[in-house]
Structure 1
Amino acid sequence: MRILFFGRGVISTQYAWAFEKAGHTVEFYVRKGRKETFGSHIELEMWDARRGKQLIQESWNVKLHEEINPNYDLIIVSVNTEQLPKAAQLLSTVAGNTPVLIFNNIWQDLKSSISPLSMNNVVFGFPGAGGGIADNRLRGGFLKMLFLEKPRAGTEQLNNKVKDLFESAHFKISWIKDMQNWLWNHFAMNAAMETEVLRRGSFPALLNHRDSFANVGKNMREIAPVLKARGAKIDMISLLLTKIPAPLLSTLFNKVILAKGSIPRLIIEYNNSKPNFAVLEVVREAKKLGIPLPRLITAVENIEQH
């Protein structure tokens, strides 16, 4: 399969590497001027959990383009959430009928988030990967599991194409019945975590404070009414964060979910992105709905002060 990744970010690079190793052709679209800046290779230091825990260290050659043509079997979009509308707009004009996998965190209504692309030509998913890039060096990791929406009417063929692609590279798919609801909950969880990252100063600092995830749970309790006001159902992860007592939640994350040396913990530790967009989006929505978010508002005020 010939695949175009929209952007050469952390998620795109890791999955592209895995697909190329599985025999697929992978290329990247980057903005004007980025081809020269990025160069023809990227240094990889990432953990691969598909067959146990393996460290990948190599200088990987990549093929970059500053224009998009429709001669691909699939385009995969995994960008910063705020960049998605512009990405969708561009693809609607240059990608023709090439099917698109939106591999992204989304807070908006799914249809409006990818307008003017057709929902019949799009499948939504979410990666099991993360990390950061600095000085053309990627540090991160990816799990065997990823998330993909169950087929909607008219997308069965596209879903099968995406399914076959990931399974050819030995990934396992967790099928999501209501992707809109799942993404709303996941975005809210991100906002709860980013609020604490803003308080601590960085993602590594979040991991180094024992009570960080107790505070993440408190943040999530504030956000839960916003989800409910949107018509979202609180899923199991959100329920975990809102119902488990703070001390137990702290132990659960520090000793089990994000145990030292685990790939999920390393993914967060390597994350060097700016932790504010999810917080700002949830705060904006809460203000519209008249729902108080004192913990998140304090984090936003800290952003403004800096």
Structure 2
Amino acid sequence: MRILFFGRGVISTQYAWAFEKAGHTVEFYVRKGRKETFGSDIELELWDGRKGKQVIKESWNVKLHEELSPNYDLIIVSVNTEQLPEAAQLLSTAAGNTPVLIFNNVWQDLKSSISPLPINNVVFGFPAGGGGIADNKFRGGFLKMVFLEKPRAGTEHINNKIKALFESAHFKISWIKDMQNWLWNHFAMNAAMETEVLKRGSFPALMNHNDSFANVGRNMREIIPVLKARGAKIDMISQLITKIPPALLDTLFNKIILAKGSLPRFFIEYNNSKPGFAIFEVVKEAKKLGIPLPRLTVAYDKTEYHKAIENSTS
């Protein structure tokens, strides 16, 4: 299969590597000027969780393009959430009828989030991996599981193509019946975690404070009314985060879910992304709904998105 990844970020890099190793042709679309900046190689320190826990260290040669064409079997989009509308707009004119996998966090209504792309040419999914890229070196990895929405009427052929692709690379698919609801809950969880990251200063610093996840739970409890007001059902993970006593939640995360040496912990420790957009979106929605979010609002005031709004109105 010939696959184009939209952007050469953390998620795109590692799954592209896995697909190439499985015999597929993978290429990347990058913005003007990025081809020269990125170069033709990227240094990998990739933790592969498909069979136990293997670390891959290699210099990987990649093919980058600064122009889009429809000459692919599948386009996979995994970009910063705030970049998704621009990506969808560009693909709507340049991708032709090529099917698209949106492998991304989404807070908006799914159909409007990828407009003007036709919804029946798009499947939504989510990775189980993470990490960061600095100085053209990738550090991170993925687990065996990936999340894909169950076929909608009209997307069965695309789902089957995507299923075959991931299974050819030995990933296991967890089918999500209500992807909209699943992503709403996941996005809210991101906002709860980013609030604590801003307080601590970085994702790695989050792991070095015993009460970090107790506070993530408190942040998530604050967001629950926003989810309910949107019509979301509170899923099992969100309930877990909000129902368990804070002290026990810290123990659960630090000793079990994110235990030292675990892959999920590595993914967070290597994450060097800028937090804030998830907080911005959730606070904006809460303001429209008239729901107070005191903990998130304190964090929101520190984000670059809030500062940009203040500067534009001053």
In which range does the TM-score fall when normalised by the shorter chain? over 0.9
Q: TM-score, normalising length from structure 2?
A: 0.96
**Whole-angstrom distance in 1 between the partners of 2:110 and 2:33:** 31
The code of the aligned residue for 2:161 comes to K
**1:39 partner letter:** G
Give the C-alpha shift of residue 240 in structure 1.
0.5
Residue type of the alignment partner of 1:222: E
| Aligned ranges 1:13-28 → 2 under 5 Å | 13-28=13-28
Alignment correspondent of 1:63: 63
The residue number in structure 2 matching 1:38 is 38
Deviations 1:160-188 (A, max 9, x none): 00000000000000000000000000000
Residue in structure 1 matched with residue 162 of structure 2 by the alignment = 162
Deviation at 1:305, TM superposition (A): 7.7
Q: How does 1:177-216 map to 2 (within 5 A)?
A: 177-216=177-216
3-state secondary structure, aligned to 2:96: coil
> Counterpart of 1:301 in structure 2: which amino acid?
D
- Match of 2:99? 99
Query: Which 4+ runs in 1 deviate beyond 4 A?
Result: none
- Measured in 2, the distance between the counterparts of 1:71 and 1:297 equals 45
Aligned to 1:144: 144
- Quickly say closer, same or farther: Cα 1:81–1:225, change in 2 above 3 A: same
Q: Which residue of 1 aligns with 2:312?
A: none
The one-letter code of the counterpart of 1:200 is: R
1:201-259 CA-to-partner distances (Å, cap 9, x unmatched) read 00011000010000000000000000000000000010011101101111000000000
* Unaligned residue ranges in structure 2 (runs of 5+): 309-314
Show the counterpart of 1:88. Answer: 88
What does residue 251 of structure 2 align with? 251
User: What is residue 3 of structure 1 aligned with on the other side?
Assistant: 3
Aligned-residue offset at 1:55: 0.3
**Separation in 1 of the partners of 2:2 and 2:266?**
31
Q: Could you tell me how far apart the structure 2 residues matched to 1:274 and 1:164 are?
A: 34
Q: Percent identity at matched positions?
A: 84
Q: 2:301, 2:27 → 1: CA distance? A: 41
- The corresponding residue for 2:173 is 173
2:241 is aligned to 241
RMSD: 1.0
* C-alpha distance after superposition, 1:248-294 (max 9, x if no partner): 11100000000001000000000000010000110000000000000
Q: How many aligned positions are there? A: 306
Match of 2:287 in 1: 287
Structure 1, gaps ≥5 residues long: none
Q: Does 1:230 align with 2:227?
A: no
Task: Name the CA shift for 1:283/1:149 in 2 (closer, same or farther; >3 Å).
Answer: same
Aligned residue in 1 for 2:311: none
Please state how far the C-alpha of 1:46 moved relative to its aligned partner. 1.2
